[in-house]
Structure 1
Amino acid sequence: MENFLAMGGYAFYVWGSYLVTLGLIVAEIVLLALRKRRALARLRLDGTAAQGDR
């Protein structure tokens, strides 16, 4: 197991790459969720403004 985790001496680069990739995936998910929340809020505001015009 120790040999696997050491990755033949390249553990820093291999595990670092995995960590960066995981961080970017998590950031993408969070940013998409925030964008969706803002878009839905904007649609709700536009819908209420349109109903108030009637």
Structure 2
Amino acid sequence: MSWAEFFAMNGYAWYVWGSYGMVLLVFLIEIVMVRHRRARILQQILLMRDEGGD
């Protein structure tokens, strides 16, 4: 089996590699969303702490 045959996957390459690509995309979106949510929550905590210190 050659590398070209491996990557061609007997004609199913678009399905296989497309699936891997979609999973990778979903993982990346999830990482970005979690980081954004974490930053927003930390900002809210800091604001609440600053308001309570009056």
Interval containing the TM-score (normalised by the shorter chain): over 0.9
Question: How far, CA to CA, are the matches of 1:29 and 1:4 in structure 2?
Answer: 30
TM-score, length-scaled by structure 2: 0.94
Q: Which residue pairs with 1:10 in the alignment?
A: 12
How do residues 1-54 of structure 1 correspond to structure 2 at under 5 angstroms? 1-52=3-54
Alpha-carbon deviation of 1:40?
A: 0.1
User: Alignment RMSD, CA only?
Assistant: 0.4
Cα displacement string for residues 8-28 of structure 1 (whole angstroms, at most 9, x for unaligned residues)? 100000000000000000000
Structure 1 position 31, deviation (Å): 0.3
Structure 1 spans left out of the alignment, 5+ residues: none
List gaps (5 residues or longer) in structure 2.
none
Letter in 2 for 1:22: L
Equivalent AA in structure 2 for residue 5 of structure 1: F
Q: State the Cα distance separating 1:35 from its structure 2 match.
A: 0.3
**Amino-acid identity (%):** 38
